[in-house]
Copies of this chain bind each other. A is one copy, B any other.
Amino acid sequence: MAATIKDIAKETGLGLATISSYLNGGNVREKNRIKIEEAIEKLDFEVNEVARGLKTNRTKMIGIILPELNNIFFAEIITELEDVLRGQGYAAMICDCRTDEKREEEAIDFLKRRRVDGMIIIPTGKSGRGLQEVMDAGKPIVMIDRRIRNVRCDTVLVDNRGAAEDAIRRLLDRGHRKIGMIAGAEDVYTAEERFQGYCRALEAAGIPAEDSLIVRGDYTIRGGSRGIKELAKRNPDMTAVFISNYEMTLGAMIELNELGVRIPEEMSVIGFDNIEFAKACIPRLSIVTQPTKELGRRAAELMLKRLEEKERTEFETVRLATRFVEGRSVCCCPDGERGL
């Protein structure tokens, strides 16, 4: 059995409170400090954080709920998040809900029972069921990447609309007019924002958005390959395509590869996320990248701030900028007349 502070007390002849005080950085007489440290060393004592958590009602655990861990975009965010949190002594209890709303709700309950001090969530569902109660119980929530209407809390987002707008504008500048988009599902926050950016850029250029140039994928590899096939079939005159997340970009590249479409001669492409993948493509892919590390860091910092604050202050929403990384997958299309 592991040693307890009782054992340390007995070993040193001191009282429990003194040991506790020492452990929590209180003032202890030099002489006793040494005695305690020797006893700790000798008995191989380690604070029992479970007991401490029960007593203080603070477990120093943060629940993290996300759609899927085996997704490089989310994994990068969580990596940074966990790093910052643990640096402050907080443990990350991670729940992957497999992009399933029901599982997401279960995860929230699971974490409530475990009495985490707060939750950081990259939402899957749209309802946010269960979250408001967590907030009401005084446990802070920080949301990343997607927003949910009913839940008021700190949020860290990306400027999705601006990112898409910028990408499309670059295609327009190179003379493209028939620009396809592989968008995400309508009920996904980021997907909708990116889609709006696409529309807005075209609108600003006086080009009506055509239904045939838009397909809805579902942020999966399969969705990307289906999407590009569909677009190509429907639009022989399409000269460029904008793909709005990494998995779909990967799927589209696989399919373009399969179809033998030459990039950028036959088709200009702008993808999303994962710069390493983009560099490995032939030719190098132009992409929009998101600041994953910063998303994670800012979310962790917002959480830590909430955990320290005495009284609740205004909720913050941080919106981070994306970056465009130029590859060689976009060519000029002066007459807007090439295509497949």
Binding site for B on A (CB under 8 A): 2, 46-51, 53-54, 59, 61, 68-72, 75-76, 78-79, 82-83, 86, 91-96, 98, 109-110, 112-115, 137, 221, 250, 253-254, 257, 276-277, 279-284
State how many copies of this chain the complex holds. 2
Q: State which of B50, B96, B109 has its C-beta within 8 Å of the C-beta of A50.
A: B50
A92 CA / B78 CA spacing, docked (Å): 14
Are B46's CB and A50's CB within 8 A? no
Q: Which of A75, A82, A253, A283 has the most CB of B within 10 A?
A: A75
Q: List 25 A-B contacts (CB under 8 A).
A: A46-B109, A46-B112, A48-B115, A49-B113, A50-B53, A50-B115, A51-B54, A61-B93, A68-B79, A69-B75, A69-B79, A70-B76, A70-B79, A71-B75, A72-B75, A82-B94, A83-B96, A91-B93, A91-B114, A250-B277, A254-B276, A257-B280, A257-B282, A257-B283, A277-B277
Known: A48-B115, A250-B276, A250-B277. 13 other contacts (CB 8 A): A46-B109, A49-B113, A49-B114, A50-B114, A70-B75, A70-B76, A70-B79, A72-B75, A82-B95, A83-B98, A250-B280, A257-B281, A280-B281
